[in-house]
Amino acid sequence: MEAFREIFWNIALGPFILYPAGVAALGVLIYAIYQRYRLWRVGKPDNRTDNLGRRIWDFMVVGVVDGLFHRRFFREPYPGIMHFLIFAGAVLLLVGTALDVIDHYVVHFISGNVYLGLSLAIDIGGVLILIGAIMAVVRRYIQKPERLNTVLDNAVVLGLISVVVITGFFIEGFRMIAATPEGLSQPVFYSHPEWAIWSFGGYWIASLFAGLAESTRVAWYIGLWWFHTAIALGAIFYVCLSFDKLTHVIVSPVNVFFRSSRPKGALAPINIEEAETFGVGKIEDFTWKQLLDLDACTDCGRCQDRCPAYLSGKPLSPRKVIQDLKANLLERSGTLLRVPRANPGNGNDGDGATALVEDVILEDELWACTTCRACQEICPVFVEHIDKIVDMRRNLVLEQTKIPETGEAVLRCIETRGHSCRGTTLTRTDWTSGLDIKVLSEDSNVDFVYYVGCAAALEDRSMKVAIAVGKILEAAGVSFAILGPEETCCGEPARRLGNEYLFQMQAMKNIEMLKGYNVKKIVTACPHCFNTIKNEYPQFEGEFEVIHHTEFIADLLKEGKIKPTPLSDGKLTYHDSCYLGRHNDIYNQPRQVLSSISQSKLLEMKQSRRNGFCCGGGGGRYWMEERIGQRISEMRIDQVVETGAGVVATACPYCLQMFEDAIKAKEVEESLKALDIAELLAAQLDKDSTE
C-alpha cells in the first residue's frame, strides 16, 4: 500500500497531471490579463508614470493602510469586517502555500515549531474566509442592500471559495488519519496528537472519521485531494474566462498604483491646440487609465450610497455609470482589438461604435452630478468617476453643443461679461462702500490679494460675506488689495459644465493679469475659486500661494491679531463645503474659527467632514434647476434641523445661497439661519468694538 501511494503521488499526480494543469491555469490567467491589457491600451495616452518615486511610496502607504487594514472598507462596519476576514484569510492561505512550495522545492525549513505555527496560521486563514463568506451570503441574499447588484456570478464565486476551503479542511483531516509519514508506524492523528491539534480544523474532521477502515480513509483522502485540486484549478479558469469578480485582486492594486497624482480638486486639461476631439464621445476616447478603472470597479455600490444625486432621486448612480461604460467596452472589444483606432467622431463610424451619451449614458445622468467627490472618497479601489463624467460633458458641450438652457446662459454670461451672475447690475466694487479697501491697480504694494469671486462681489446675499471678510482683514491690520474692475471669473463654472475652451481662456487671462502685478499670495472666500486657482491654474503656469479665508482667519486668531467676543448663546452646526473638504482636506480650520466665537459645543451633523453631504450647488448645479427628485439642499437642511442648531455655518457662497433658498422652502426661517463663518466672526468683532 505504501509503495502504491508513493508511486501515485510522486509520479502520476505531479509530473503528468498536476504540473501541466497548473501551468495551463497560469497560462490562461496570463493570457486573460494580456487580452485585457490590449483592451485598455485602446484608450488614449495618459502619463501615469510621473513622479515615479513618490508614486511607489504612496502605493506602499496606501497598500498598507487601505489594502492590508481596509481603511476605506471599515467606514462601514459590517462589509468592512466581511471583506477584511476574507482578505486576511486569503493572505494566510497564500503565504502558507507559498512557504510550503519553497520548503518542498527549494530549501527544507518547515519543521518543529515552524511547522506547528504554519499549521495553525493556515487553519485560522481558512476559518476567517469561511466566516467572511457566510457574512457575504447573509449580506447579498438576506439583507439585500439596494446598492448591491447581485448576479449569478456572486453565488458562483462564493461557492467556489467555500468549497475550496472546506475541502482543504477535509484533506487535512484525512491526511492525519490516512497518510503515514516516513519514520512513523502510524498516522499523525494517532502517534502525535499534540502535533495534529495545531491544525485544529483538520483535527476536528479527523476525529469524526477516525473509525473508518484504513483503505476507506486512503480512498477518501485521494478522492478529496483530486476534487479539491480540480475545484481550485477550475476556479482559476473561471476567473480568467469571466474576468469579473475576483480579478479585482489583480487589477485593483494596479489601478491604485496608477491613480491620479494631480491634486484631488484638479480636472485633467485638454490640449486645445492639438486635440482631435473634445471630450469623450466613444468608449475609446477615454484614456487607457480610465478604461482600467472600469475593470478595477468591484460593483460594490459604495459610491452610489454616498451620491447626493442618487439619494435625492435623480437618475445618476456612479456605480451604474462605471458598469454601463464597462459593458459598452466589452460589447465593442472584438472590434476594438481587430481594427485600428476609429476616426474621430461622435456617432457611428461604421465599426460598431455607439455614441456614449444617450446610447449608453443618459444626458440627465451627466448633468445630475455635483462633482462633490463623495464617490471617489469612498471608493476602495480609487476609481475616478468625476473625470469621466466631465469628459462626457465636454463632448456634449464642445462637440454637440448640448447643454441645459440655464447652463448655457451662465457660460454666455462668463464669456461676454466676465462673471457668472446673470442679470446683476452691481459692479465688482459696490460692496466696498464704506470700507477703506485698496484696488490693486491703484496700489500694488500689498502682501495679499483678496480674490472676491463672482458671487461675493455681485450677488446681494453673498456681498455680505465679502464685507465681513474685508472688515476682518482690516481689523487684523492685513495689507491687502482687491482686483476690483479687473477681476473676472476664475472659470470654474465653465470647466465643470464642460466648456474647457472657455475655462482656459479665463484662466490664461487671470494668470497673465496676476503675474503682471507680481501677485504671490491670494486669499479667497470661495472654495471653488480657491480650488481652481490653487490646483488648476498651475496646469497653465499659474503658480500662486492660495489661502481660503477660513485658513487665514484661523491663523489670525492663533496669532492674536483679532479677538472676537464669544457668543453667549446660540447653537451652531457647520456644513463642510465639498470643494473645501473632500477636494482640499480643509476640515479643522473652519471648526477652529467657530470654536473661538462660540461658548457652546459645535453640533456636528451625522454626515460631516469627509462624509459630508453636498449642498447640491457644485458641478454647475448652482445655475441649474432641480427638476427631478428632491432638492439636495433641502435634504441637507433636514439634516441641519435634526441637530437642533439655530445657525448653520458655511464657508462657501454656493452653499450659503442654496441653504437660504432651502430654509425658505422648508419654512424654518424663524428657527434657522445660514451664515458664512466670516459673517459670524465679523459680527463678534463689531460687538467688541461697540462695548
| φ, ψ dihedrals at 266, nearest 5° | -100, 130
Per mean pLDDT, which of 240-244, 335-339, 592-596 is the most reliable?
Answer: 592-596
pLDDT at res. 1: 43
Beta carbons of 583 and 552 less than 8 angstroms apart:
no
| From 135-139, 213-217, 600-604, the region with the lowest mean pLDDT | 213-217
Residue 61: other Cβ atoms inside 10 A: 11
Structural domain boundaries of the chain? 51-257, 283-402, 408-690
Residue 475: other Cβ atoms inside 10 A: 19
pLDDT digit string (tens) for 432-473?
A: 998 989 999 998 899 999 999 999 999 999 999 999 999 999
Residue 526 CA to residue 622 CA, distance in Å, equals 13
Residue 617 CA to residue 660 CA, distance in Å, equals 12
Cell (9 digits) for 4: 502504491
Beta carbons of 602 and 591 less than 8 angstroms apart:
yes
CB neighbour list of residue 330: distance below 8 Å, 6 or more residues apart: none
Terminal alpha carbon distance of the chain: 102
Beta carbons of 437 and 430 less than 8 angstroms apart:
no
pLDDT at res. 29: 79
Beta carbons of 525 and 651 less than 8 angstroms apart:
yes
Mean pLDDT over residues 620-630, rounded? Answer: 91
Residue 12 CA to residue 17 CA, distance in Å, equals 7
Local confidence band at 212 (pLDDT 50, 70, 90 cut-offs): confident
Amino acid type, 8: F
Mean pLDDT over residues 131-135, rounded? Answer: 92
- Nearest alpha-carbon partner for 43 in 396, 421, 387: 387
pLDDT at res. 99: 86
For the chain, how big is the Rg over CA atoms in Å?
31
pLDDT at res. 362: 94
- Nearest alpha-carbon partner for 381 in 55, 146, 84, 70: 70
Beta carbons of 134 and 98 less than 8 angstroms apart:
no
In the predicted structure, residue 645 carries a pLDDT above the cut 60: yes
Strand partners for 648: 573, 674
Residue 412: other Cβ atoms inside 10 A: 12
Residue 533 CA to residue 206 CA, distance in Å, equals 69
Strand 448-451 with 521-524, pairing: parallel
- Asked if CATH classification 1.25.10 holds for the domain at 283-402, the reply, yes or no, is no
CA trace torsion 273, 276, 281, 282 (10° rounding): -140
